[in-house]
C-alpha cells in the first residue's frame, strides 16, 4: 500500500511546486521601466528622450520654446517658432526643398545644403544637412555640420536639430553626431498632439 502512494506523491506535489515557482518568479521579476515622455502642452508636442538625458526648456529670440535634451556632449533640440509665410507654403517637394535651402543659406548662414522630403506622423517634413562656420570663442572659426528636420503645422514651425563640430568638411562628412543612434531613436518618438488633447 505504501509503494503506490509514494508513486502518487510527485503527481500531487507538482501543481503546488509549479504555483510556488510562479510566485517566486513573479516576486523576483522587475518589469522594464516605462519610458518617460517629455510633453510640452502649450505647443502640443512630445518625445521620449534617451534614458538618463536631461531635458530643459528655454525661450530664445528665434524660438517661442527651445527644448534641449542633453547627456554630456550629446544633445539635440526642438525649436518651435512662427513659420515664415514664405516657408513650406506649397505641396511641391521640389519647391519646398528649394525654399528650405534658401532659408538655411539666408537666415541660418549655412552652405552646401542638401534637402530631402520625409514624413513625421504622416505629415510631410523636410530633412536638411548643411555646414556652418561658427566662432569658437577664441578668435578662431570652427566648422559645424548641422542636421535639421523642419515640420510645419498651421502657423507654427517645429525644427529638430542635432550637430557635430570638426576641423574640415571631409572630417565632418565622415562623422556622426555624438550619440547619433540615441538621437535618431528619440527623434523617431516625436509626436504632435491635437488641440484640446490635454484638456480634461
- The predicted-structure confidence for 92-111, as pLDDT tens digits, reads as follows 999 999 999 999 999 899 99
* Arithmetic mean of pLDDT over the chain: 82
Return the percentage of the chain with pLDDT > 70, whole number.
Answer: 78
Task: Give yes or no for residue 15 having a pLDDT over 70.
Answer: no
Least confident residue range of 15-24, 72-81, 94-103, 189-198: 15-24
Distance between CA atoms of residues 50 and 181, nearest Å? 10
The CA R_g of the chain, rounded to the nearest whole Å, is 26
| Most confident of the following: 78-82, 131-135, 177-181 | 78-82
- The predicted-structure confidence for 138-167, as pLDDT tens digits, reads as follows 777 888 889 999 999 989 999 999 988 877
In the chain, the domains with their CATH numbers are 38-192 (3.40.1000.10)
Name the nearest CA neighbour of 144 among 186, 111, 106: 111
CA distance from start to end of the chain: 70
Q: Give 168's pLDDT tier (boundaries 50, 70, 90).
A: confident
What is the CA angle 168-174-176, rounded to 5?
A: 105
| Most confident of the following: 16-30, 52-66, 130-144 | 52-66
Q: Could you tell me the pTM of the whole model? A: 0.76
Name the strands in the sheet holding 45-47, side by side, starting at the edge strand that comes first in the sequence: 38-40, 45-47, 191-192
**Residue 88 CB burial class (10 angstroms; 0-12, 13-18, ≥19):** buried
Grid cell, residue 162, equals: 542635432
Mean pLDDT (whole number) for 14-38: 58
Mean pLDDT (whole number) for 25-35: 57
Task: Give yes or no for residue 69 having a pLDDT over 70.
Answer: yes
Amino acid at each position: 500500500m505504501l509503494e503506490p502512494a509514494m508513486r502518487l506523491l510527485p503527481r500531487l506535489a507538482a501543481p503546488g511546486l509549479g504555483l510556488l515557482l510562479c510566485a517566486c518568479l513573479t516576486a523576483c521579476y522587475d518589469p522594464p521601466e516605462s519610458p518617460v515622455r517629455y510633453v510640452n502642452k502649450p505647443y502640443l508636442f512630445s518625445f521620449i528622450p534617451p534614458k538618463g538625458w536631461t531635458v530643459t526648456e528655454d525661450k530664445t529670440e528665434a524660438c517661442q520654446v527651445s527644448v534641449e535634451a542633453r547627456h554630456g556632449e550629446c544633445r539635440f533640440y526642438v525649436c518651435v517658432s512662427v513659420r515664415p509665410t514664405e516657408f513650406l507654403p506649397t505641396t511641391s517637394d521640389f519647391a519646398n526643398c528649394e525654399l528650405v535651402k534658401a532659408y538655411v543659406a539666408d537666415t541660418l548662414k549655412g552652405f552646401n545644403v542638401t534637402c530631402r522630403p520625409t514624413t513625421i506622423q504622416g505629415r510631410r517634413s523636410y530633412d536638411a544637412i548643411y555646414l556652418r562656420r561658427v566662432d569658437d570663442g577664441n578668435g578662431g572659426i570652427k566648422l559645424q555640420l548641422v542636421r535639421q528636420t523642419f515640420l510645419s503645422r498651421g502657423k507654427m514651425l517645429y525644427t529638430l536639430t542635432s550637430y557635430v563640430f570638426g576641423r574640415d568638411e571631409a572630417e565632418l562628412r565622415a562623422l556622426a553626431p555624438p550619440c547619433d543612434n540615441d538621437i535618431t531613436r528619440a527623434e523617431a518618438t516625436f509626436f504632435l498632439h491635437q488641440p484640446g488633447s490635454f484638456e480634461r
